[in-house]
Chains A and B, each alone.
Chain A
Amino acid sequence: GNSVTQMEGPVTLSEEAFLTINCTYTATGYPSLFWYVQYPGEGLQLLLKATKADDKGSNKGFEATYRKETTSFHLEKGSVQVSDSAVYFCALRGRAAGNKLTFGGGTRVLVKP
């Protein structure tokens, strides 16, 4: 079956530091890949997505590239802010209509001033 593995946190950074959160996946076929963000006390929000190999998703300064050869979708941001403190989830979904999202375990990121 499908699975997603992402690095465990917490990740603690200083403001303006570079952030990378690793995500690798196992899936049949060509899934879509997603990063969701969960701010404290809130639900999950879609941060970015990529639907085919070599696609780059980007939003709010975050980027992730769909790498089929390494089955990876690492999240990066060049200069984090305190407001980026959140839990980040990598997820995938197959292309059939009923396919569900499969999530990684989540990575908590704490950005200190």
Chain B
Amino acid sequence: EAQVTQNPRYLITVTGKKLTVTCSQNMNHEYMSWYRQDPGLGLRQIYYSMNVEVTDKGDVPEGYKVSRKEKRNFPLILESPSPNQTSLYFCASRETQSGTKNIQYFGAGTRLSVL
């Protein structure tokens, strides 16, 4: 079954304590990305990766890091979380090639609260 798996699903942490949210996909997709969802703002892209070792900033990258050492994994790292990073986070993946047939698949989400 095609899946994007994120962990953990829920996380409560304190300001400044480094954390990592993992994301893994089993579809051999080149393109992966992270979004955050906030009320009234829809989903905004944090970072994306076109392939292994290729990452780039999205619309709201401040305070986040990513890495893409393997094709299937794309972890999101918060080195020093702050309360304004309290949000619902989604990982997504799709094939890279241009065109319109490639559908983006989303993980189930990680709800993060930073106290």
CB-based contact B40/A42 at 8 Å: no
Chain B positions within 8 Å of A95 at CB level = 98-100
CB-based contact B100/A105 at 8 Å: no
Our pick among B56, B97, B108 for the contact of A43 (Cβ within 8 Å) is B108
- Do A100 and B45 contact each other (CB < 8 Å), given the known contacts A43-B108, A44-B106? yes
Chain A interface residue count: which class?
20 to 34
Chain A positions within 8 Å of B104 at CB level = 46, 101
Does B41 count as interface, using CB distance less than 8 angstroms?
A: yes
Does A20 count as interface, using CB distance less than 8 angstroms?
A: no
Our pick among A45, A100, A103 for the contact of B48 (Cβ within 8 Å) is A100
Our pick among A36, A42, A100 for the contact of B108 (Cβ within 8 Å) is A42
CB-based contact B98/A105 at 8 Å: no
Chain B positions within 8 Å of A44 at CB level = 43, 90, 92, 106
Chain B positions within 8 Å of A51 at CB level = 100-101
CB-based contact B90/A43 at 8 Å: yes
CB 8 Å contact bits of B27-41 with A (1 = contact, 0 = none) = 000010101010011
Interface residues of A in 95-113 (CB under 8 A from B): 95-98, 100-101, 103-106
Does A54 count as interface, using CB distance less than 8 angstroms?
A: no
Instruction: List 6 A–B pairs whose Cβ atoms lie within 8 Å, in order of A's numbering.
Output: A4-B42, A51-B101, A52-B100, A101-B43, A103-B35, A106-B37
